[in-house]
Structure 1
Amino acid sequence: MIFDFDKEIDRYNTSSYKWDEAERMFGEKGVLPMWTADMDFRSPTFIIDAIKRRAEHGIFGYTVKTESYNEAVAGWMKRRHNWNIEKDWICFSPGIAPALSFIVQAFTQPGDKIVIQPPVYYPFSQVVEKNECELVCNPLKFENGKYVMDFDDLRTKLDSQVKLLILCSPHNPGGRVWTKEELIELGEICLEHKVLVVSDEIHFDLIYKDHTHIPFASLSEEFTQNTIVCTAPTKTFNLAGLLTSNIIIPNRHLRETFVETMNKNFLVFMNSFGVAATENAYKYGDEWLDQCIDYLQQNLDFLTNFIESNIKELKVIKPEATYLVWIDCCELGMDDKSLEQFMLKEAKVAPSLGYGFGPGGEGFIRINIGCPRSVLEEGLKRIEKAVNSYTVLKP
C-alpha cells in the first residue's frame, strides 16, 4: 500500500494545540505553526478503523491494558528495536512528560539533584523545578557538526545528592542517535555513582538511514535494572491526543514504586481509544512507518538544500532522528527576543525558539518537518523573504 503524506489537511477548529492555539500563544495572526512536536499527517487507516470499531460499541467505561495490548507493545520492541521485554514491565502513563514528573515524585525528595543535558526538551527542567528538586546541567558539546556528551563534566557533577539523570534518546532538539559506546560510558558512570537513568525514548521509531536506535536498558543486565525507559506511539503515529504512553520498568522494585505513585495520583485507567489505537499501531504499523520515515528524509533533504541555497545565514544541524530540525540563526546577529519577534512578525512563522531548551539553545530555532512538503516549502519561503529583507536593511 502506498500512503499519501503530501495531502494538506485543514486542522483548524479541531481543538488543535498546534494550529488553533497559535494566535493566542504567539500573539500574531497568520503565523504558520512549525513549533510543537506533532505531525500534520493523518494517522493510518488501520488505526482510524480501530477507533471507529471501538466507538461503534458505544460504551466507554473505565479501561485497562489487555493481554493483547501488552503483546503488541512487546512485539513492536522486539521487531523494531531488537529488545526483548517482559509484558509485566509495561506500565501506563497518559504521557511521557507526566511520567517524568511522577518518576521525580517517586524516586526523589525535595532538594535532591537531577541531571539533564541541555539544550534539551524543555519539560525536563520544568519537572525538576516544579517538584522542588535542584537542576544540574551537564551541557552537551557541539563538535564536528553534532552534539556529543561531556563525560568529564558529568563526572564532576555527580555527588551523593544526585538521584536521577534524565536522558533524551534520540536527542531533542539536536537529533542525535546516541552510539552504543556513548550510551555505555554514560550508563557506567551512572552505575558507579548510583544514579538512576530515566531514558525518554519517545522519538525512538523515527530514525534516519544509517543510524540505529539502541534502547538504553537493552545494553546490559546492570543497565536493565538501573533504567526506566519512557516510550509511546504518539510521535510515531501522531496519537498525542489519545494520551497513551508505555513506561517500561524491568526492575520490580522500581516498577512497584512507580505504580504506587501513579495510584496515589489516581491514574489507573487508560483512554479507551488510546488502547485500541496503540495496539493496532504496533500490530500493523511497520509499512506505514517505513514510508513515513522515507518522506521525512525527503523533507529533511529539501529543507537542507533550500537553506543552503537560499538562506545562507542559517545553518542546519542535520538530525539523525526525529522530525524536528535544529537550526543555527546566530549569523543573523539577533538576541533571542529579537529573533523570536523576527520569526513571528516578519517571517510569519512560529518555530520553537532555542532559548527555551536551556543553555546552548540561544540563537537557534527548531522547525517541525512532519508536514506535507508544500507546507514546509511555504514556511521556508516565508523565512527566506524575511531574511532577505532584513539583510538588505541591516547596517
Structure 2
Amino acid sequence: MSYQFDERTQRKGTCCEKWDLGKKLFGDPDVLPLWVADMDFKCPPAVIDAVTERAKLGIYGYTFRPQEYLEAIISWFGRRHGWQLNASWITNTPGVVPALSVAVQSLTEPGEDVILQSPVYNPFYDVIVKNGRKVAENPLVLEDGGYRMDYGHLENLMRQGAKLMLLCNPHNPGGRVWTKAELERLGELCGRYGVNVVSDEIHCDLVFPGNRHYPFASLSPKHADMTITCLAPSKTFNIPGLASSYTVISNPQLRQKFTDRIDALAIGAMNYFGPSATIAAYNESEDWLEAVLEYIRANRDFAVGFLAERLPMLTPVRSEGTYLLWIDCRALGLDGAALKQLMYRDAKVAFTEGSLYGRNGEGFLRVNLACTRELLTEALERFAAAVAEMRTK
C-alpha cells in the first residue's frame, strides 16, 4: 500500500498540544511546531478503521483488555524483537510517564537516589524529584558524533547506594540505540550492586537500518529479574491520545510491588479505544511502520545535509533511532534564553531547547522529524535565515 506522508493534515483548532499552544508557549500562534514528540502523519488505516468502528457503537463505557489485545502485544515483540513474553507479565498503565512515576514510588523510598543518564527526556527528572527522591546524574559522554555510557562514573553512583536506574532505550533526545554489548555491561553492573532498572522503551520500534533494538529485559533471565519495561504503541503508530501503554515485568515480586501501587492509585483502567487501536496497530500495520520509518530516515538525511551546507557550525548528533534529531548548537555561543529567542521570536520555529533535558543539554536543540518534508524545509530555512541575521549584527 502507498502512504501519503507528504500530505499536510490541518491540526490547528483540534485542541492539539503541538499546534494550538503556539501563543501560550512561544508567544506567537504562527510559530512552526517541531517540538513535542508526536507525528504529523495520519495513523495507519487499520487503526483509523478500528477506532471508527468502535466509535459507531455510540456507548463509550468501561472497558477491559481482551485476550486478543494481549496476544497482539506478545506476537509483535516476538516477531519484531525476538522477545518471548507471557501475558501475565503485562500490566495496563495510563501512560509511560505515569508508569515511571509508579515504578519510582514502588521500588524506592523518599530521599533515596535514582540514577538517570543525562541529557534525557525531561519527565525522568520530574518523576524522581516530585516523588521526593534525589537525582543521581550519570552524564553521557559525547564523542565521535554520538553518545556513550560512562560506566566508571555509573559504578561510583551504585557504590554510593543508588538502587534504581531509569534507562532510556532507545535514547531520547540523543538518538542512541544501545547495543547488546552496552546493555550487557550495564546489566552486569546493576546485578553486581543490586540495582533495579526501569527501562523506557517507547521508541523501540523506531530504529533505522544498521541498528537493532534490544529490550533490556530480553538479554538474560538476570536482566529480566531486575527490570520493569515501559512500553506503548503510541510513538510507533502515532496514537498517544489513546492512553494505550503497558509495562512488562517478569519478576513476580517486582510486578506485585508495581501493581499494588497501580491499584492503590486506581489508575489501571483501559481507554475505551486503546485495545482496538493496539490490536489493529500490531496485527495489521507493520507495512505502514516500514513506510513511515523510511520517510523519517529520509527527513533525517535531508536535515543533516541541510545543516552541513547552510549551518556548518551546527553539529547533528548521530541518529540511530527515534524521529528526533539532537543538534549541537554550542558554536553559536548562546545560552538557553538566547536560543529560545532565536527560535521563537526571530525564526518563528519551535524546536525543543536542550537545557530541558539536563545541564549537559544546554546549547543543544531537539528537532521533531516526523512531519512533512515541506514543513521541515520551511522550519530549517527560517532557522538558517535567523542565524545568518544574528551573525551579521
Q: Contact 1:139–1:359 (CA<8 Å) still a contact in 2? A: no
CA distance in 2 between counterparts of 1:230 and 1:236 reads 14
- Deviation of residue 333 (structure 1)? 1.1
Q: Counterpart of 1:25 in structure 2: which amino acid?
A: L
CA distance in 1 between counterparts of 2:160 and 2:120 reads 24
Secondary structure of residue in 1 paired with 2:163? strand
Aligned to 1:184: 184
Greater Cα offset, 250-259 or 166-175: 250-259
Secondary structure of residue in 2 paired with 1:70? helix
Aligned to 1:40: 40
Aligned to 1:112: 112
Q: Counterpart of 1:74 in structure 2: which amino acid?
A: I
Q: Contact 1:160–1:193 (CA<8 Å) still a contact in 2? A: no
CA distance in 1 between counterparts of 2:49 and 2:319 reads 33
Aligned to 1:22: 22
Aligned to 1:156: 156
Aligned to 1:79: 79
- String of CA shifts for 1:188-229, please: whole Å, max 9, x gaps: 101111110111000000000100000000000111111111
- String of CA shifts for 1:280-299, please: whole Å, max 9, x gaps: 10111110000110000110
Aligned to 2:239: 239
Q: Counterpart of 1:249 in structure 2: which amino acid?
A: I
Q: Contact 2:8–2:372 (CA<8 Å) still a contact in 1? A: yes
Aligned to 2:170: 170
Q: Counterpart of 2:166 in structure 1: which amino acid?
A: I
CA distance in 1 between counterparts of 2:313 and 2:230 reads 37
Aligned to 1:212: 212
Q: Counterpart of 2:79 in structure 1: which amino acid?
A: R
- Deviation of residue 340 (structure 1)? 1.0
Structure 2: runs of 5 or more not aligned: none
- Deviation of residue 268 (structure 1)? 2.5
Aligned to 1:259: 259
Q: Counterpart of 1:112 in structure 2: which amino acid?
A: E
Question: Aligned residues, how many?
Answer: 393
Aligned to 1:346: 346
Q: Contact 1:169–1:203 (CA<8 Å) still a contact in 2? A: yes
Q: Within the alignment, does 1:137 sit opposite 2:143 as a pair? A: no
Q: Contact 1:139–1:360 (CA<8 Å) still a contact in 2? A: yes
Q: Contact 2:21–2:29 (CA<8 Å) still a contact in 1? A: no
Cα RMSD for the two superposed structures: 0.9
- Alignment TM-score, normalising by the size of structure 1: 0.98
Q: Counterpart of 2:85 in structure 1: which amino acid?
A: I
- Deviation of residue 269 (structure 1)? 1.3
Q: Within the alignment, does 1:3 sit opposite 2:3 as a pair? A: yes
- Deviation of residue 44 (structure 1)? 1.1
- Alignment TM-score, normalising by the size of structure 2: 0.99
Q: Counterpart of 1:237 in structure 2: which amino acid?
A: F
Q: Counterpart of 1:174 in structure 2: which amino acid?
A: G
Secondary structure of residue in 1 paired with 2:75? helix
Q: Counterpart of 1:337 in structure 2: which amino acid?
A: A
- Deviation of residue 65 (structure 1)? 1.1
Secondary structure of residue in 2 paired with 1:91? strand
CA distance in 1 between counterparts of 2:282 and 2:40 reads 20
Structure 1: runs of 5 or more not aligned: none
Secondary structure of residue in 2 paired with 1:222? helix
- Deviation of residue 160 (structure 1)? 6.2
- Deviation of residue 59 (structure 1)? 1.9
- Deviation of residue 388 (structure 1)? 1.1
Q: Counterpart of 2:179 in structure 1: which amino acid?
A: T
CA distance in 2 between counterparts of 1:95 and 1:269 reads 11
- String of CA shifts for 1:74-113, please: whole Å, max 9, x gaps: 0000111111111111111111011000111111110111
Q: Which runs of 4+ in 1 moved over 3 A?
A: none
CA distance in 1 between counterparts of 2:106 and 2:241 reads 25
Q: Counterpart of 2:235 in structure 1: which amino acid?
A: K
Q: Counterpart of 1:243 in structure 2: which amino acid?
A: A
Q: Within the alignment, does 1:329 sit opposite 2:352 as a pair? A: no
